Amino acid sequence: MATIGLDKLFYAPITEDENEEETYGTPVQLAKAISVELSVELAEAVLYADDGIAQIIKEFNSGTLTLGVDDIGLSAASELTGAEIDSNGVLVSTSEDDGKPVAVGFRAKKANGKYRYFWLYRVKFAVPATNLETKGESINFQTPSIEGTVMRRNKVDGKGRHPWKAEVSEDDSGVNTTTIGSWYKEVYEPAYTTEASNVSEEDA
């Protein structure tokens, strides 16, 4: 179903253990969302046999997330890009800055009034782009954008796989209201039935 709105843009800091497996912090609001663009790059392999295509494998490789926002506060900009806030409260960006990956969550309003929710599990951002212009006869809002690379997370889920995105619509059948209600309290962790996990283990 088509979407007609976008809001509740959040990010969650990531800490990693010695195996680089992620633990997510409490989500905090990043900014007021204007736009979200997500493009995905797939790794593709084609097997030819008997003068034809016998098998095609397409797997997620990486993605590019571009966020248009009303403003990026100092704290969020520092956490996302690695820039430092000095003793005078000034955000200083250097060539050595290297921001840590974060999880990014948002929701889109559908035409029927319900919402579709998203979490991207590992995104590494670059320095925000800034657009400025002098004021003319008409007023044009200039807003920042920030671009990040979307990656699969290192931590495996209950089926031994590496998620990169979680997505759900609140009016999908079988969706627990608790799942929607707690979407921004913590980064969503995939949950599988014991039967599904056992099947995965047998196949491995």
Q: What average pLDDT does range 98-127 have in this prediction?
A: 91
Average of per-residue pLDDT values in the chain: 84
Integer Cα distance of 187 and 182 in angstroms: 9
Please tell me the predicted confidence (pLDDT) of residue 134: 59
**Which of 153, 37, 149, 39 is CA-nearest to residue 99?**
149
- Delimit the domains of the chain by residue range: 3-203
Q: What average pLDDT does range 151-161 have in this prediction?
A: 94
Encode pLDDT of 42-97 as tens digits: 888 888 887 778 888 888 888 999 988 888 888 888 888 888 899 999 988 888 88
Query: Long-range contact list for 54-60, CB < 8 A, 24+ apart?
Result: 60/152, 60/164
Encode pLDDT of 9-48 as tens digits: 999 999 999 988 999 999 999 888 888 889 888 888 888 8
For residue 170, give both structure tokens. 């609140």
**Which of 20, 31, 133, 132 is CA-nearest to residue 79?**
31
**Which of 40, 66, 71 is CA-nearest to residue 152?**
40
Taking the model in full, what pTM does it have? Answer: 0.80
